[in-house]
Structure 1
Amino acid sequence: MTNKIILTGGGSAGHVTVNLALLPKLQQDGFEVIYIGSEEGIERELIVKCAGVRYYAIKTGKLRRYFDWKNFKDPFNVLTGAYQAYEIIRKERPRVIFSKGGFVSVPVVIGGWLNRTPIIIHESDVTPGLANRIAIPFATKVCTTFQETSEHLPPTKAQYVGAVVREELARGSATAGLTFLGFSRNKPTILAMGGSLGSKRINEVIHATLHTLLKSYQVIHICGKGQVDPSLNRPGYRQFEYVTKELPDLLAVASLVISRAGANAIFEFLSLQKPMVLIPLPKSSSRGDQIINAKSFQERGYCEVIPDEELSAERLLQVVNHVYEQRLHYIEKMQLARIQDPLQTMIHLIETTARRE
């Protein structure tokens, strides 16, 4: 049997980044990598650029916590996607399936379970998301980023791994980033981002305070698709919808980061020792996972947190200035973070599971 693995996960970049970190290692170890994702999600855009990976698109249905007429249609899309995934898995016969979560992963996990294929799930947040909560009963193992997540999982399935971070992020060049941006070395730089889908709320506050920020800082602003405002272009300010290839260099330039509190992103900032101002998604538009993530990081001294409902131009300026002035304190705390190799741990678990199959 060919040494195949199926990866899945999508809906946002956070549900793809771990797969992107694993992918080259798996290929080096002799796995043929197949990806199952949605027809139009960001995972397709990111994965089709990866050499040697075959991509299958299936029907998906978003798992909403609010009323929407699509809620009546989407269960049928999930069922269709589960059948499509079942047929793909039956044909490809992978040794193992690795799921990063997101709504696209549910039909794949169900299809894998029906094929009796071992399934490894990765949960980034302190508490499992809705898609993973549905998928956990079908899983062989559930890998966690936070140690405390094990409290929410069956003891026989939980395995603490830590944060899997893309290795290429550590290879960024500040010189290349400054050249790409046209920025000066003599002024600190802020990287502001609202996740792969952008954050209208963060964008509005950045725009409102931009004039004042630019007196002391240069600003890289990753706005999200369709949210770039060309009328705001000026020296020391660069805005992008989304960044892939240049992201390591932009992170190398950044003195601090303003961000939502998705687990994958904040652990990447931690690995690079970037002081953070975190603005977690509020419970009104999420399940509250980012609030828990941000609180965990704040308690460890890695960041300052602004609740979304308290966000204003004045508050953002105050906290940004504080974090920058105390940046060495935050970096010192981050340097004390436990040193480990979660990427290799995950690869070992995948290979061991594949051999057992």
Structure 2
Amino acid sequence: MKIVISGGGTGGHIYPALALINEVKRREPNSKVLYIGTQAGLESNLVPKSHIPFKSVSITGFKRTVSVDNFMTIFRFLKATHQARRYIKEFKPDVVVGTGGYVCGPVVYAASSMHIPTLIHEQNVIPGLTNKFLSRYTDRIAVSFAGSSEYFPSEKTVLTGNPRATEVSLSDGRRGRASLKLPGGKKYILIVGGSQGARPINDAVLEMIPMMKDYPGYYFIYVTGDSHYATVMELIKGKTPSNLLVRPFIYNMPEVLAGIDLIVNRAGASFLAEITALGLPSILIPSPYVTNNHQEKNARWLESEGAASVILETELNGRKLMNEISSILSDRAREQAMRRASSSLGLPDAATKVYKELNAITKL
């Protein structure tokens, strides 16, 4: 199989694409892949590091309000479509896949106009503008959550889950705990604010630290983000309780996730795919700074299904966060119910499902 895949801007669009590529390579070692992204997005760094051929187009996203910039975006879209058409014509793919971000717009649209089978993957509960636009042209729409289906044409929408979940579901939690040298016999709580960290979450954890000694049965793993680590370590110098481990970043996150009991984090789509694949209960603190408020909508979906508790950033403080952690972990019935709900939403075979859809549309 020859695949062109496009997804860009943030890790939430890129990591599912890389997971799908890994699945295709696992099943078809001789398959060929071309990744089309932008030079400005994270994909220009992550994709070449994964030894995947990479081409770029120049494109920006539309403003959600009437703006002169949108006229320039239309011009860039047409130019990027022309660039994508050239790459596709040279590569001759069997199928073209878009995993989100505005770069997918010209790539998938170009492929559709060339009558090449196309599939888009939506990670969020509420779809982004690009996927809403492409839904009219693509052959198949794969969604991560059942709640997304109502926004797309039913005849070509299929619930697959997020391919990132497949990689995480295979992780070994014992190795994750061993890598951090965690003591045995505890309830493990992982607190992280995304790859860059999040100051409001960090501030809440700093408030919590004096309280941690009152919970000897809990062990807290606190990931500050690289940019916040030095400041945090200076602030807690000489005050670190024995049941707290502070790290700037965790490189084997799937393994660590598989070895914990409760996660406190933002509500990015790929992250939610990971925790539901593992059946983890969560406390979600959605970022208010993302497009279309996607994270709160993602978080509220999990909360409505009983898999998560949501604390808005405007309501967040150390006491509230500690009380919610204790409320979940001290109530075995609630913790187990959240685990079951999370697991019921998880689709650990997501990469396989998307792969099967790719095969199906190439035979249409």
TM-score by structure 1 length?
0.85
Percent of aligned pairs with the same amino acid: 25
SS at match of 1:143: strand
Q: What is the aligned partner in structure 2 of residue 48 from structure 1? A: 48
**Alignment deviations for residues 155-182 of structure 1 (CA, whole Å, 9 cap, x no partner):** 3332222343443323333443334324
Of structures 1 and 2, the one with the larger relative CO (CA 8 A, separation 6+) is 2
The answer to whether the 8 A contact 1:17-1:166 is kept is no
Letter in 2 for 1:49: K
Change (3 A) 1:309 1:150: same
Work out the CA distance in 1 between the residues paired with 2:129 and 2:47: 24
Work out the CA distance in 2 between the residues paired with 1:219 and 1:65: 40
How many residues matched?
350
Change (3 A) 1:75 1:203: farther
RMSD value over aligned CA atoms? 2.9
Q: Choose 253-262 or 169-178, whichever is displaced more.
A: 169-178
**1:295-334 alignment runs, 5 A limit:** 295-326=300-331, 327-334=335-342
Offset of residue 190 of structure 1: 2.0
Q: What is the aligned partner in structure 1 of residue 32 from structure 2? A: 32
**1:203-282 alignment runs, 5 A limit:** 203-213=202-212, 216=215, 217-224=218-225, 226-229=227-230, 231-232=232-233, 236-241=244-249, 243-244=250-251, 246-282=252-288
Work out the CA distance in 2 between the residues paired with 1:210 and 1:336: 33
**Alignment deviations for residues 96-155 of structure 1 (CA, whole Å, 9 cap, x no partner):** 111110122222123323333221011122221122122222211111222232221123
Work out the CA distance in 1 between the residues paired with 2:362 and 2:263: 39
Q: What is the aligned partner in structure 1 of residue 351 from structure 2? A: 343
Q: Choose 124-133 or 231-240, whichever is displaced more.
A: 231-240
**1:135-174 alignment runs, 5 A limit:** 135-174=134-173
Q: What is the aligned partner in structure 1 of residue 112 from structure 2? A: 113
Which consecutive unaligned segments of at least 5 residues does structure 2 have?
Answer: none
Letter in 1 for 2:336: L
Q: Choose 64-73 or 224-233, whichever is displaced more.
A: 64-73
Q: Choose 108-117 or 310-319, whichever is displaced more.
A: 108-117
Offset of residue 313 of structure 1: 1.8
Offset of residue 224 of structure 1: 4.5
**1:173-192 alignment runs, 5 A limit:** 173-192=172-191
SS at match of 2:351: helix
Which consecutive unaligned segments of at least 5 residues does structure 1 have?
Answer: none
The answer to whether the 8 A contact 2:95-2:362 is kept is yes
